[in-house]
Amino acid sequence: MTSIVVGIALPLALVLIAAWRAYRYRGLRETWILTAALGLLGSAKLARVPVITDEYIDKGLHAITGVYNLTDFTGMLLGTLAATTFAAFASFTIGGNWSTSRRLPYFYAVVTALMAGTFLMTPVTESPTSYMTADFPMTGWLAAYWTVYLGTIGVAALSILVVTINAMRKVRRGPLAAGLASFAVGATIAAAYVAMKIADLYVNNDPDLDETWYAQHSKTVSLVLVLGLVAAFAIVGGIVIAETFPRRYRRYQLLRNRMHEWQEATRLNEGVVLTPTAPTLSRWAAWRASKDSVAAHRLMVELSDIGMFGATQAAPETSALQTPTGQ
């Protein structure tokens, strides 16, 4: 039960972080790589929740398509795309190379075509299983399928590790160093996962090794590595939020204070009618304007301009009241 809860909570947190980033940075092209990577990784693990996907979702998909183990395939494909996207993110953010990111759609298309094509040719599509490396001989199309899967993740993990280690030599402290360390840990876990799966292919196809400790606990090891990978990159998302939220909240408080001052000033000058030109002064408006310093400054300028407009409108009224009635 605990593994199911953890298996849902961690990847769901990643998906929610990705959704928040997609909305928060929807106009910034350079942010979509990390957003896509977090969303793909979370979705990959959600596609492989113990018991739930095998007993319910996969059976439903089989009833519709006639193909077994589609949840396994979906999770593995999304995991491969996530690894590729994280490699592109590391190349762009840490290495300063944007060209890899521009080629991502082509990588997606090639990997998807290779994995889907080889998967549909395997015997895995004809019989349900919760652990295909143990239940099917690793030959022919199944071996090709796993080669594409493990090869792609392995290359992506090693490239991330190399780029990250080079960057960590220059940045040794602060939130950036923590983010780089989380990336390095995630890449190391991914490389360990690939090595573990290669060992799986060897152990599960040798009857003499069926009673070894590794053969008896390989499923647990696999789950721990996957959850560790998700946790490592969830930390990356958490660091981003931890670094951006406090600054945004301080801007929000400042804007709310200025709004209160503006509302008090207009209340004391009832002869000045500013309703048609005033911006919305709600908490939500302040929160939206606090998203960055530019938006916050824009709202402050609007309030300042309206205040100046009110002063010029109030001046003629004041002059008229001060004019002697006998003249």
- pLDDT tens for 12-68 read 888 998 998 888 888 777 788 889 998 998 999 888 886 777 778 888 888 899 888
CA angle 72, 75, 78 (to 5 degrees): 145
Percent of the chain with pLDDT over 90: 15
Q: Compute the average pLDDT of residues 195-212.
A: 75
Between 47 and 207, residue with greater pLDDT:
47
pLDDT, residue 78, reads: 95
Residue of 203 and 307 predicted with greater confidence: 203
Say which CATH topology domain 2-245 has.
Answer: Rhopdopsin 7-helix transmembrane proteins (1.20.1070)
pLDDT mean over 67-79? 92
Q: What is the pLDDT of residue 288?
A: 73
Query: What's the chain's Rg over C-alpha atoms?
Result: 28
- Any idea where the domains of the chain sit in the sequence? 2-245, 249-322
Query: Per-residue pLDDT for 72 more than 80?
Result: yes
| pLDDT exceeds 80 at position 212 | no
pLDDT the model gives residue 296: 66
Mean of pLDDT over the chain: 78
pLDDT for residue 266: 66
Dist. CA 296–CA 248, nearest whole Å: 9
Cβ(176)–Cβ(226) below 8 Å: no
- pLDDT score recorded for residue 80: 94
Predicted local confidence at residue 321, as pLDDT: 38
Distance of CA 302 to the CA centre of its chain: 34
Which residues touch 186 (CB under 8 Å, ≥6 apart)? 86, 160, 229, 232, 233, 236
The percent of residues in the chain predicted with pLDDT above 70, rounded, is 77
Range with top average pLDDT, 151-155, 179-183, 196-200, 323-327 = 151-155
- Distance, in Å, from the CA atom of 258 to the CA atom of 277, rounded to the nearest integer, reads 17
Contacts of 3 (CB under 8 A, 6+ apart): 50, 223
What pLDDT does 101 receive? 75
249-287 per-position pLDDT tens digit = 888 888 888 777 776 766 666 655 455 555 566 777 777
Q: Are 40 and 28 in contact (CB under 8 A)?
A: no
Residue of higher predicted confidence among 75 and 288: 75
CB 75 within 8 A of CB 44: yes
Model pLDDT, residue 327? 38
Q: Which residue has the higher pLDDT, 17 or 3?
A: 17
Examine the pLDDT at 313 and tell me if it is beyond 50.
no
Give the pLDDT confidence score for residue 278 in this predicted structure. Answer: 56
Who has greater pLDDT, 243 or 20? 20
Nearest by Cα to 198 from 176, 221, 168: 221
The full 3-state SS of the chain, as one line of letters, equals CHHHHHHHHHHHHHHHHHHHHHHHCCCCHHHHHHHHHHHHHHHHHHCCCCCHHHHHHHHHHHHHHCCCCHHHHHHHHHHHHHHHHHHHHHHHHCCCCCHHHHCHHHHHHHHHHHHHHHHHCCHHHHCCCCCHHHHCCCCHHHHHHHHHHHHHHHHHHHHHHHHHHHHHCCCCCCHHHHHHHHHHHHHHHHHHHHHHHHHHHHHCCCHHHCCCHHHHHHHHHHHHHHHHHHHHHHHHHHHHHHHHHHHHHHHHHHHHHHHHHHHHHHHHCCCCCCCCCCCCCCHHHHHHHCCCHHHHHHHHHHHHHHHHHHHHHHHHHHHHHHCCCCC
Contact indicator for 190, 157 with CB cutoff of 8 Å: yes
